[in-house]
Every structure is written in C-alpha cells, then in structure tokens.
Structure 1
Amino acid sequence: MHRQISNYLMDKISSGAWPPGMRLAPQRELCRQFGVNRSTVVTALGQLSALGLIEGRRGGGTRVAEVQAAADEAVSSPDPARTDLLPVPSAGSWNAYVEEGVHYPNLPTVQDINRLEYEQGLIRLGTGEPAPELLPGSAMTRVLAELSRQTLPPLSYEEPLGSPGLRSAVSRELAKNGIQADPDSILITSGALQGLQLIAVGLLPRGSTILLEKPSYLYSIHAFQSAGVKFSGLPMDEQGLQMDGLAREARRSKAAMLYSIPSFHNPTGVLMNAKRRQELMEVTGQLGLPILEDGAYQELWLDTPPPPPLKALDREGRVLHLGTLSKAASPGLRIGWIVGPEPVVRRLADIKMQTDYGASSLSQLAAARWLEGGYHEEHLQHLRARLRKRRDAVLDLLQRHFTGLAAWNVPAGGFYIWLSLDKPVPLRTLFRTAHKAGLLLNTGDLYDRGDNRHLRLSYVYASPAELELGLPLLAGLIRKLQQPGV
C-alpha cells in the first residue's frame, strides 16, 4: 500500500500537477484521503523524502522540493527508484505565483468547508444553501420544457446589463417589495457574490474603508480585502445594526460606504426593524454615506413579511441593492442582480464585460420565465412553510440538548440560528473534532476573527433525521471541550 501511495504522489509531482514549493496536506488528512493508518503514510513520504522530492520545513509543513535539488538528490541516491518520473529542472516556481497573487486565498477553514461539503457522510450543520429536496426541480423542469417548445435557445452574448427580458422581470419582482427600479437601473450578475466583487474593484479606491455589521458574512470572503479595502465593524443588537457611534466611526475612518444585510442577517439571522432602518437612512443621509444593501434573504420570511428594504426608502440614489435567485430557487442557476443609479450600474457592467462577457444567456432565459410565469411566488409559499417547520424542529432540539450550554435567537426568516456558547471554546479545535465525528460546522471566527463562542447553525440543508443525530452529538463535543484541562 505504501508503494502505491508513493507512486501516486510521485506521479503528481512529475506531471507538474504539484509544482515545487507546494505544501502537501497534513499526514492526518492524507490518512483520511487514502483510507490508511499513519505508519503507511509516513513510509510513503519517507520514500519521497529519500529521493529528494519532498522536504520538511520548520513551521511550513511538508512541501514539494525545488526541482533541481530533487533531481540531484535522486541521481546520487543508491536506489533512485522511479527517476524516470522526475520533473525536468525549471527556473521558476508556481508556488511563488500562488502565494503572491493579488487576490487573497480563502481562510483555511473556508477552504476546508468548500472541500468537505462534497465528502459523503458528513452532516452539514452550517451550510448556507437549501437542501436539494427543497429546490424546485420539477417546476424548473416545466420551465425548461416550456422554453424548448416556445423559442430557439439564445446562444449569443446578451447586452452588457443583461437580458432585457430578465431585467424587466426583476424590475416587476422588486416592485413587490417597494423598490421602483427601471430595467436600465438593473445589472444581471453571476450570483450576488459577483456583485460584491464588481463593487469592490469598480467603485472603491484602494485604502478606503467600508462600515459593516460585526459579525458579518463579508469577513468570510476576501472580495474587498483583495481590492485593498478595509473594514470597520459596528456592533449589533437584536434589532440590527446599532446607531450609536455610527456617525462617529464614519467620520473617524472616512468611510466610503456602509454594507448591511438588514433582512435575516448572515450569520446571525437578525432582522432589522422598521424604526432602525429609518434611523439608518437618516444618519447615513446626513453623512452623505452610500449604502450597499444585501437583500439575499429578503423574501425568505417565515412568520410575517419584513419591513421594506432600504432601497425602497431611498429617494437620493444612495443605496445599491443586491438580489439573487440562489437562496430560494437555484444556487446553480447563478443569477443575481445589482440595482442602483444608471451611471453606477453601467460602470459595473463595463467591468463585468471585461470579466466574463455576461452571465449565461440560457440561465437568464430560464430565470426570466421562472419569474414571469409565477413559478417563483408559488415556490416561495411552499418553501416558507417547509423552512418554518425545519426551523421549529431545530429550536426544539436546541431546547432539549443545549439548555445550560448556549443561548440562541429565534430567526423570523432566512437560513440561520446564531448559537452563543455560555463558555468559550477553541473553535478551530471544535471544527476538527466535529469533522472527525462526522459533522461539518461554520464557526463564528469566520465572521469575526476574534470570536470563540459562536456557531452559525443552518436549518435548511441537513435533513431532519441528520439534525436529530447531529445536534445532540455537537452538544456532547462542546461539553467535552469546555471541561477543565481539555
């Protein structure tokens, strides 16, 4: 077995798939990947080390050795097995490019989550997307069947702002929430995340600062930091972003923009009330401070509709509004939009054209039909009922297994429950321990670097049976980590 692993690793190195300087996965991860014990992995790595193909670095793990050094070592080796697979010496190293690109890598935990979400058998307790059984597969099949009978597929590029038909459909959908937006004020994006990236590189100068709630989803991605934009976090309470200190911090930091998720905030699930929204508009209006409103969860209310979006209160064109179909209808459709003043959306459209030349024409056609045909509203009614049932089931499980261990909010919509542990725990350790036990977590330090006592729980992905199994298991792991001396 160790020879098979050794040969597999050498093939990776010799083909260039693993370039010089690349860090190998930790031994425990290699054991998991290959399904073997540690001694087998150690033996395989020892063979590569003897050939000079890998090298250990203090504090830097095990990396692929520089090519020339590996070749010299292998030639002088008394048993240079597989020297036929050694790479040709090269003057450059891709590792330097990987580490020095202008776009920051994801946080290590986020990278782990992105990889582990596709691992079979894990119970995903923090995933921010609907479970496959909550997605409207049969309804979307009807949409596609209708389109196949009615029109030729659009195989060309769309306009820079996106399909006129989809923008008109989005305009009518926005009007239901009080947002009056002409189609020329709407830019179709490849999901709301692309909207954030376009705004980061297209509207904000390097070194500028944006205000945002803390914790915040933006801390878990690097769209703004990679563009040289800094964050200044503001505290929240159960009514949303606190107004005390907002004006003072905006002036101190010379903030260029404020980012907010007023409806069913990610990760806390908090709903900003109507009074707080009005105060926010008034304070930022006095400051002349633009707002970036993330409305990804606006329509996913469970009890009563939320207050109107900030964009619906905007009479000065200060609010950019992000929307998406990913949270309710289809993450894979990759359809989102930005609503704002026409010069702004044209600027962002120009950058988008330089990036990908527009969202998928086929996806835009399907999304337009989805909205125009009434499918979306019908699906939302069913989805809200099912999410309400799941939320209540999770709240019951928390009451049974986390009483005396943590506190939590009762979300009125969206996807998340913000679990606040009574005692802090090392969240990275909890993440690894939970993974070994078959659980995949979204820990609070992803959304606030200094956090050591929160978890983002999602009731939309794991099945009811998985939640019945996973949440009591999680409670036991937390109790164990909180014991003295652990």
Structure 2
Amino acid sequence: MNWRPDRASKKAIYKQIAEYIESCISSGAFPPDSMLPSERTLAAELNVNRSTVVAAYEELQALGIVERKKGSGTRVSSSIWGISRKRIPNWGRYVEDGSFLPNLPLVQRIRSEALRTDFVNLASGELAPSLFPSEDFQRILAGMPFNEHLGYDHPHGNERLRDAIAAHVHEYRKISTDANSILITSGAQQALHLIVQCLLKPGDAVAIEDPSYSYSLPLFQSAGLRTFLLPVDKNGANPDDLVELHKKHRIRMVFLNPYYQNPTGIVLSEARRKRFLELSSEYGIPLIEDDPYSLTAFDGNVHQTLKSMDENGNVLYISSLSKIVASGLRIGWIVGPEQVIQRLADAKQQIDFGHSIFPQWIAYQFLDSPTFSSHIEKLRQELKKQEYALSSSLNELLGSKVSFDSPQGGIHLWCKVNQPVDDYRLLEESLKRGVAFVPGSVLSSQSGAIRFTFGRGEEEVIREGIKRFASALESLE
C-alpha cells in the first residue's frame, strides 16, 4: 500500500483512512466479501495508532460498507453491490462534503428542544403570538380578492408592495427611494444570503460585529469569505477598528446591525454612524445596514438610519416585517442602487422564481392600512413590559451574579455572568429545567454571556424562565 494519510490536512486521519479504503472498495481493489488488513497490520503500515484504524473501520461499518466480527476481522460487505450490483449512495459522506455549511450542532439542538410545549423559550428571535395583529389580518383576509393573477410576479417583487415599502421607509426611517430600488426577499436572512453570494467572492475579507447575529451564521464560511471582528462596546462598533482592519486585510464589505443590536441591544451612536459613512466613502467599502428593530424603540424615537444619511449610495439597507409583525410572513426587503437590486433579483429568480403573491398581498394591505401605526405603538408598549419582566426578574433572582444594561428597544438582552462558567454546561442544566437561551459563545468570540430574548414570551412566562435559569446557574456553583 503506497498511500499515506496527509498529516498536514485538517481532516481527521481516521476519516482519511476510511475514505481511502472506501475508494479501494469502489475500484475493486477490495472486492465484496474480501478481508481487510487487520487493525494492527494496517496501523503499522500507515504508522498510526491502532485506535485510529479502529475508528476508520467503525466509520465504514456505520456506512454499511464493511462487516466486523470480534475474532474474525473486518470484511467487505457481501451485499454492498446488491442484487443489481448497484451501490447505495454514501449519504453520510455527501452530507459532510456539501459546500453549504450546517448550523452549529448546539444551535440546532436549542431550536429543536425549544419546540417542546413545556419549555420557556428565551432563545428564539420572534414575537409572542399575543403581539400578532390578528384582527387586522382577519379583516385583510376576509377582503382578499380571488381574481388576482397567480402567475410569476415582477422579479423585484410585487410592485404595489414595493411602492408601499418605499412610502413606509420614507415615513418611518426617512429613507428616500422608489420601487425600482427595492427587492422583496424571504425575510432578512435571504437578503444577507443574496448579498454574500452575488456581491462577494471566495477569499474576500468582510468585517462583522462582535458579538453579533452575523457571528453565528455559517453563510460567510460557506461562501469562502474571511471574517474579521469589530468589537462592540456601549456605543456600538468602533469605526477606528475598521481603519486598522482595512490596512491589514483590505475589507470588502462591512455588516452592521445599528439599532438595538442582536444580541447586545445597543444602538450605534450617531457620531459612529457618521464616521462609518465617511470611511465607506473614503475606502469605497459598502455598508450593509441590517435594521429589523429600529421601529421597536420603546419611547417611539426612531434613530436616523445609515441609509437616510447616505448621500453616495454606499449603503445596502435590509429590513423586514419579521420582528415587528410576524416572522412567518417571510417578508423582507433590500434597498440599494438599481444595478445591485437587478443583480440580486436575478439571483433570487434562479432560486425561487420570485416571492409568493399571497404574503406580498397581505403585507401590502397591512403596510398601507391606517392600523399599522397603532399596531407599532402597541408593540412598543408590550415589548417594554416584557423587557421589564426579564430585567426585574434577573435583578430579583440573581442580583450581583449577573450584569446587564436594559435595552430601550428590540427584543434581546445581553447578560454577562459574573463568575467563571462553562456555557455548554449552563445550557445543559437549563435545558434539563425547561428553559432555553443562546450562549454568548454562539454569538461572540468570548464566553460567559447569554442572550435572552424577551419578544416571544408573556410576562409571567419570562419570569418563570428566569426562575428556572437561576436554578441551573446555582447548580453549577
């Protein structure tokens, strides 16, 4: 055997061995029902530990490629080719080798566990059912015309909805735009995906906030991008850090969540907003402004957006109805230069041939209705109550064990644990007690912090969740 594992590779040696043996089986070098070298023999030949070969053989056994019997060795499965001599695809290998990376196993587990009915879900970034404007939507659905054309709509999205969004962002965010500069997306998540896939190439350097929601997204790594961090303090990300990063890495794009940021709840200061725009113009770096929360300001004071201050077309503005109406609508949008919108619209057409007309029609009706503003007022009042339920419970039940700044909008609170703690053990103990949250290490380069989301729970449910969390933290002391 002339082959040797590549010890410089990031892939585990046992996986390299398993893949090599599988290729030998596929080529016929090891035919069905033939014996493979013993663990000791192969280990000596490849100069690896016997346990490494054991792991490789176990991997092949799990895939159904080999059969192992104690005392008899490892044999190529006799039924590997089946009656018609056709092999079953190695789906496990395909799942591992795909270029689009999966979410972290921890994130997947939080989402699955939090679906249990007995759980207090302080992890999911959505609104409570009680905050949904159900009466308004019942009225809209009752008046829904059935003579609407149900064919493919405009590549940018329904024109009436884009007109309504143009009016909406002008009234609430002071952004001047028109329907031609807007693309309807399946929430903000698809907007980010389209921007990364269409406007950047593998090897490009991008800057993201730390902590941030972007930090948790595998889409940057899937696209082969190099991510660099902008630490967030009480005034948000510091533009001076961008200067240093650009000198070293030639940053191609900056992703910012300026208002009631996920997860910190911080607002990027006006001075820093202006400075980011200056640097964007100086270096020619696009700014991606992700703004799902600005309308949730508890005091009704909506901060001036980067896009409204953008005089040169350097900002791509992303927002959605997910955090102010309902996540299930899947209505988001991008505002930007027409040539960019055209490029992104073409990509969206390739993916899904455009957005479904039904949620677009409902969103248009709601944005264009006089009840939208009253809904936003109610939303602010209820979120303020839910945030108070969370922060007061943390103070009452945990006191000096944690520290945090109460956000003045949004749906997230960033809480630091004032003692050394293992994020994963704390989450494990919390899940046992029926409460879910997002550990800080999922959203940040540092551990020891927690993102609690107060948008999804009623006040008493939130208090119960923090009671369970306090019990989990106490069990680790």
Answer yes or no: is the 8 Å Cα contact 2:318–2:333 preserved in 1: yes
Q: 1:156 aligns with which of 144, 151, 158?
A: 151
Q: Deviations over 1:334-366 (max 9, x none)?
A: 110000000000000000000011111111111
Aligned to 1:93: 90
**Distance in structure 2 (CA, Å) of the matches to 1:308 and 1:258:** 19
Query: Do structure 1's residue 373 and structure 2's residue 369 form an aligned pair?
Result: yes
| 1:479 aligned counterpart, secondary structure | helix
Which residue of 416, 424, 427 maps to 1:420?
416
Between the aligned partners of 2:275 and 2:417, the Cα distance in structure 1 is 31
Letter in 1 for 2:320: T
Instruction: After TM superposition, give the deviation of residue 248 of structure 1 in Å.
Output: 1.5
| CA deviation string 1:92-116 (max 9, x = no partner) | 3111110000100111111112222
Secondary structure of the residue aligned to 2:399 is coil
State the AA in 2 paired with 1:382: K
- Residues 451-475 of structure 1 deviation map (CA, whole Å, 9 limit, x = unaligned): 2210001111122222222212212
User: Are residues 1:121 and 2:121 paired?
Assistant: no
On the 8 A contact 1:273/1:307 being kept in 2, the answer is no
1:317 deviates by: 0.5
Q: Note closer, same or farther for the CA distance 1:129–1:57 as it changes in structure 2 (3 Å cut).
A: farther
| Code of the aligned partner of 2:367 | L
Q: In the TM superposition, what are the counterparts of 1:63-462 in structure 2 within 5 Å?
A: 65-69=62-66, 90-148=87-145, 152-176=147-171, 177-448=173-444, 450-462=445-457
CA shift for structure 1 position 87 = 11
**Bigger CA drift: 465-474 or 320-329?**
465-474
SS in structure 2 of the partner of residue 410 of structure 1: coil
**Alpha-carbon distance between aligned partners in 1 of 2:361 and 2:57, rounded to the nearest angstrom:** 49
Root mean square deviation, CA, Å: 2.5
Partner Cα separation in structure 1 for residue 57 and residue 470 of structure 2: 34
Q: SS of the counterpart of 2:426?
A: helix
Q: Is there any run of 5+ residues in structure 2 with no aligned partner, and where?
A: 1-18, 20-52, 73-78
Measured after TM superposition, the shift of residue 265 of structure 1 is 0.3
Q: Distance in 2 between matches of 1:380 and 1:274?
A: 24
Go from structure 1 to structure 2 and tell me whether the alpha carbon gap of 1:344 and 1:395 turns closer, same or farther (over 3 Å shift). Answer: same
The 3 A distance-change label for structure 1 pair 257 and 433 is same
**Cα contact 1:171–1:180 (8 A) shared by 2:** yes
- Out of 457, 460, 469, the residue aligned to residue 474 of structure 1 is 469
Equivalent-residue separation in structure 2 for 1:260 and 1:327 (angstroms): 17
For normalisation by structure 1, the TM-score amounts to 0.81
Offset of residue 409 of structure 1: 1.1
Query: For each residue in 1:210-241, what CA deviation from the matched residue of structure 2 results, as whole angstroms up to 9, or x when unmatched?
Result: 11210110121212221111211111111111
Whether the 8 Å CA contact 2:322–2:330 is kept in 1: the answer is yes
What amino acid is the match of 1:160? Answer: P
Q: How many angstroms apart in 2 are the aligned matches of 1:348 and 1:60?
A: 46
The structure with the larger Rg is 2
Alpha-carbon contact 1:271-1:306 (below 8 Å) kept: no
Q: Distance in 2 between matches of 1:437 and 1:415?
A: 23
Amino acid at match of 2:137: M
Q: Note the C-alpha offset of 1:259.
A: 0.5
Following superposition, the deviation at residue 62 of structure 1 comes to 8.8
Letter matched to residue 455 of structure 1:
I
Tell me the secondary structure at the aligned position of residue 464 of structure 2: helix
Report deviation, 1:433. Answer: 1.3
Matched residue, 1:17: none
Structure 1's consecutive aligned runs of 4 or more residues displaced over 4 angstroms after TM superposition are 56-64, 86-89
Provide Cα deviations, 1:237-263, integer angstroms capped at 9, x if missing partner.
111111333212122111001100001
> Which amino acid in 2 is paired with 1:167?
R
1:148-170: CA deviations, max 9, x gaps?
Answer: 3xx52341111110100000000
> Which residue does 1:32 correspond to in 2?
none
| Contact in 2 for aligned 1:68/1:90 (Cα 8 Å) | no
CA contact (8 A) 2:390 2:454 kept: yes
Please say if residues 57 and 63 of structure 1, whose CA atoms lie closer than 8 Å, have aligned partners that are also in contact.
no
TM-score, structure 2 as length reference? 0.82
For 2:276 and 2:92, locate their aligned partners in 1 and report how far apart those are by CA, in whole Å: 46
Q: Number of aligned residue pairs: give it.
A: 415
What CA deviation, in whole Å up to 9, does each residue of 1:265-302 have, x standing for no partner? Answer: 00111011222211221222222211000011121111
Equivalent position SS for 2:155: coil
Separation in structure 1 between the aligned mates of residue 61 and residue 121 of structure 2, nearest angstrom: 33
- Contact persistence 1:300–1:328 (CA under 8 A): yes
- Residues 222 and 57 of structure 1, relative CA distance in 2, 3 Å threshold: farther
Give deviations 1:117-158, integer Å, cap 9, x for gaps: 32221111122100111111221111111223xx52341111
Aligned equivalents of 1:171 and 1:372: distance in 2? 11
**What is the distance in 2 between the residues matched to 1:63 and 1:108?**
23
Does structure 1 conserve the Cα–Cα contact (< 8 Å) formed by 2:212 and 2:443?
yes
The alpha-carbon deviation at position 61 of structure 1 amounts to 9.6
Partner SS state of residue 415, structure 2: strand
**Counterpart residue type for residue 332 of structure 1:** G
